[in-house]
Amino acid sequence: MSEKDNERGFYLTTPIYYVNDVPHIGHAYTTIACDALARWHRARGDETRFLTGTDEHGQKIQQAAEKRGMTPIQLCDEVVTNYKKLWERLDISNDDFIRTTEERHIKVTQYFFKKLIESGDIYMGTYEGWYCLPCETYFPDAQIGDGKVCPDCKQPLTRMSEESYFFRLSKYQDALIEHYEAHPDAIMPRARYNEVMSFIRSGLQDLSVSRTTLKWGIPVPGNDRHTVYVWLDALINYISAVGYPEKGGKWEVCWPHVRHMVGKDIIRFHSVIWPAVLMAMGLNPPVRVFAHGWWTVEGDKMSKSKGNVVNPFEMVDIYGADAFRYFVLREVSFGNDGDFSELALVNRINSDLANDMGNLLNRTLQMIEKYRNGKLPPVSVFSRSRDIDTVLRDLAVSTLSDMDARMDDFSPDGALKALWALIGAGNKYIDETQPWKLGKDDPDERLDLVLRTLWEVLRLVAMLVHPFMPNTAVRIQAQLGLEGSPSDGLYPDWGWGKLTADVTVKKGEVLFPRIDIPKWKEGYDARMKARLTALAPASAGKEPPASFDAEHKPQIEIDDFKKLEIRVAKIERVETVEKAKKLYKLSLDLGFERRVIVSSIREFFTPEDLIGKKILVLCNLKPAKFRGIESEGMLLAAEADDGGEIISLATVDDSFPPGAPVH
């Protein structure tokens, strides 16, 4: 079923965010995208509901709370506040915020579990297998390979055995295939659809859905020795938040139109496990699950140790919520991975927001004030339209339907491109009609038509930009001399020239002042320096060296260099070394063999930063023992200062296979 075949209902959810950390750009990205979609559907008159919330159960929460000397619920209460504050700062218009520790959710989760036991879709058994603590998931041997690391997060797995309840996931394999073959738009983008279908066709195994080793969670009804598996608990939030299974609850209206927005790392939970559970409960699967990509920062993975984690609060403080919202939605084709750069954000502000949209508004209002004392020319002027005027009008009308189609496809970046094409056409229209020349012959009906045409374009721009940049849209509408919300008149009939009342424009402050790049660079460098200083306290208070030590080593012959065997190695596993604060034990894949090296880089990198990286290793270095571990080589790294207190590994791109020689 396509979006357009549905009745005009729209229930949209973000994933519920795990409260073991503060919100970052990934959380903000998903939520901003959902907010834009929800605002769009409200504007066109759809019965819309938008849900977000937090996932608060599981072993990671329990352990994090213990480390901080808190109870799990105290930790959850503290972190949830950060999310709610961020959504306020970003103008997120969610209708509800669900927490999995709420009684309304616990009640529905236990109802699900009880009904599935009664139907035989959940049964008791014993589970033995490899368990990932960070992902709180068991993985079959076929998925983990020789390294015994999690296929998703690459952390070491633990062998566990425990009594468990199982969900008969295998029973729904054929039903899932049939459903997705009939509804190819139910998983987007297409690459994710292909991935999920391949996974289902490879064979589904029954799923362990309870734990006996964990107490911070929802007790299984009738057997409180077991706790409901955190992923089953979490998925149920989408329907517990709308009053299921109460007669007359919101779920009866919402659930036939439910769509989920998730990151690509959790697509299988939402498009395999969750639809199967819903089928078992006699409920419809989601209309659509859309998986967006991940963000890197200037080509590198985000990491606390590198100091490159993008803090949405900081971005809003510096650039404003609307500029940040626009950038993350416009910069990347939705569904693909994206790369965040503050310089790219500044360039978008200067070009798209200041030069294009801001300039169109500013030039138009200046001319209406200068040539018509701020009074909007009447609609009667349209009777004298020429081809150049009707071309712009037709583009404005078609832009609405174009953006509508793109938003139906969950493509906010495509919708914004269409809108900016209209804005660009508006600026071109000014250059071609040259109103300043027409203004010399006053009164001039041609000038009236040009000014009214530009005002109509801007009225539509305010309406169309509102879902993406709500505060900016309100400011544009106010300067156009209009009251109310910019989205009020968008549907069902926007109507070119529809407004016949007298209007006086009210030119205000510039929407987006241009940012001076050299001055910005000074401030940016100062912030980055402060951040690195905080990450490397041992070097705090030291001035960075004016230059590196320029003394070279003695010259060598080419034959001396040829003695060095340097190869590409892939880091498969990272382990801490007991009683050694600086040491990591790295398990490496060299293509033709596997090796272990011990390196003193622990203070600079987390295991997550390292696993999967392809680094350069000196392979024919004589082995040495560190803390009883034999190290069979040395990795190559660059120092950021002469004290070696900040380093970067020598890496290669992913196209080079492990074992490739370096000459």
Q: What is the CA radius of gyration of the chain?
A: 29
pLDDT in tens, 524-580: 999 888 877 776 644 444 444 444 444 556 777 776 776 788 888 888 888 888 777
In b/e form, how buried is each residue of 383-422, taking b as 16+ CB within 10 angstroms?
Answer: eebeeebeebbebbeebbebbbebbbbbbbbbbbebbbeb
Q: What is the 3-state secondary structure (H, E, C) of 117-151?
A: HHHCCEEEEEEEEEEECCCCEEECHHHHCCCCECC
Cα 223-229-231 angle, rounded to 5 deg: 150
* pLDDT on residue 552: 59
The model's pTM is 0.79
Q: What is the spatial distance between Cα 465 and Cα 94, in angstroms, rounded to a whole number?
A: 18
Mean pLDDT lowest for which of 85-89, 153-157, 431-435, 560-564? 560-564
- Name the pairing type of β-strands 614-618 and 634-635: antiparallel
Phi-psi region of 281 (alpha: psi -120 to 50; beta: other; left: phi over 0): alpha
Using the predicted structure, report yes or no on whether residue 643 has a pLDDT greater than 90.
no
- Residue bearing the bigger pLDDT, 6 or 404: 404
| CA neighbours closer than 13 Å in the CB half-sphere of residue 661 | 6
Domains assigned to the chain: 3-293 (3.40.50.620), 354-533 (1.10.730.10), 558-662 (2.40.50.140)
Question: Where does the pLDDT of residue 659 fall: very low under 50, low under 70, confident under 90, or very high at 90 and above?
Answer: confident
Question: 626 φ, ψ to 5°?
Answer: -130, 120
Q: What is the spatial distance between Cα 426 and Cα 422, in angstroms, rounded to a whole number?
A: 6
* pLDDT on residue 319: 97
pLDDT > 90: percent of the chain: 62
| CA neighbours closer than 13 Å in the CB half-sphere of residue 383 | 5
Question: Where does the pLDDT of residue 328 fall: very low under 50, low under 70, confident under 90, or very high at 90 and above?
Answer: very high
Using the predicted structure, report yes or no on whether residue 320 has a pLDDT greater than 50.
yes
Average per-residue pLDDT for the chain: 88
Contacts of 49 (CB under 8 A, 6+ apart): 10, 11, 12, 95, 96, 242, 250, 254
- Residues 13-20: what's their mean pLDDT? 93
- Residues 211-227: what's their mean pLDDT? 93
- Residue bearing the bigger pLDDT, 636 or 491: 636
Q: What is the spatial distance between Cα 369 and Cα 505, in angstroms, rounded to a whole number?
A: 8
* pLDDT on residue 550: 45
CB 565 within 8 A of CB 618: yes
Mean pLDDT lowest for which of 152-161, 376-385, 451-460, 641-650? 641-650
Contacts of 525 (CB under 8 A, 6+ apart): none
* pLDDT on residue 5: 40
